[in-house]
Chains A and B, each alone.
Chain A
């Protein structure tokens, strides 16, 4: 009965490759997010979607492309991976925007070699 799930949990890949991370929420929420957490634990929003519509795009390189096939899913595709993309990526969801509680997935640790 996981609320927000992400796959894979770990992803190790070479520079220049293209990879995707999937996120699904079974909470019936309308809004979903992607965050990046760097090695110093600094957490920064990347994107948010509301009912499949892009709401926030925070100066993220266009190598990162979110895709929301339906409001329960928000996938993150990354082209031409770079060393600096190594981080933990968290998906989250909320019923509406803040101050509604955001529910986070367990994270995907991406390592680019």
Chain B
């Protein structure tokens, strides 16, 4: 079945450091891929998405490229801020039903 695997957290970085959160997936066909972010005490918000191979999603300085050859969708940001501290979820949909499969989430702490 479909699944998403993302790196275990927590990830702790200093402000302005480079961020990578790894995400790989298993799916049949051509899924759509997402990163959602959950700030403390809030619901999830879509951060970015990509719907086909080689697409790059980007938002708020974050980027992720849909790599079909490596079945990956790693999240990157060049210079993180304290306000980026949150839990990040990689997710996929195989576009055949209404279901989104979420990874287990990666908690990110940014130190000032």
**Contact surface of A with B, Cβ cutoff 8 Å:** 4, 31, 33, 40-45, 48, 50, 55-56, 58, 90, 92, 97-99, 101-107
Contacts and interface: CB of A to CB of B under 8 A. Distances in A.
Nearest to B51: A99
Interface of B: 32, 34, 38, 41-46, 49, 51, 87, 89, 93, 95, 97-100, 102, 104-105, 107
Contact of B99 (A4, A40, A45, A103): A45
B51 A43 contact: no
Nearest to A6: B43
Contacts of A45: 99-100
B98 A33 contact: yes
A42 B105 contact: yes
A99 B49 contact: yes
A98 B102 contact: no
Contact of A97 (B34, B43, B97): B97
Contacts of A102: 44, 46, 100
B44 A90 contact: yes
17 contacts: A33-B98, A41-B38, A41-B104, A41-B107, A44-B102, A50-B98, A58-B99, A90-B43, A90-B44, A98-B99, A99-B49, A99-B51, A102-B100, A104-B43, A104-B44, A104-B45, A107-B43
Given A41-B105, A41-B107, A42-B105, A98 B43 contact: no
A7 B41 CA distance: 15
Contact of B97 (A55, A92, A101, A103): A55
Nearest to A3: B43
B104 A98 contact: no
Nearest to B45: A104
A62 B89 CA distance: 28
A55 B96 CA distance: 12
Contacts of A105: 43
Given A99-B49, A99-B51, A105-B43, A56 B97 contact: yes
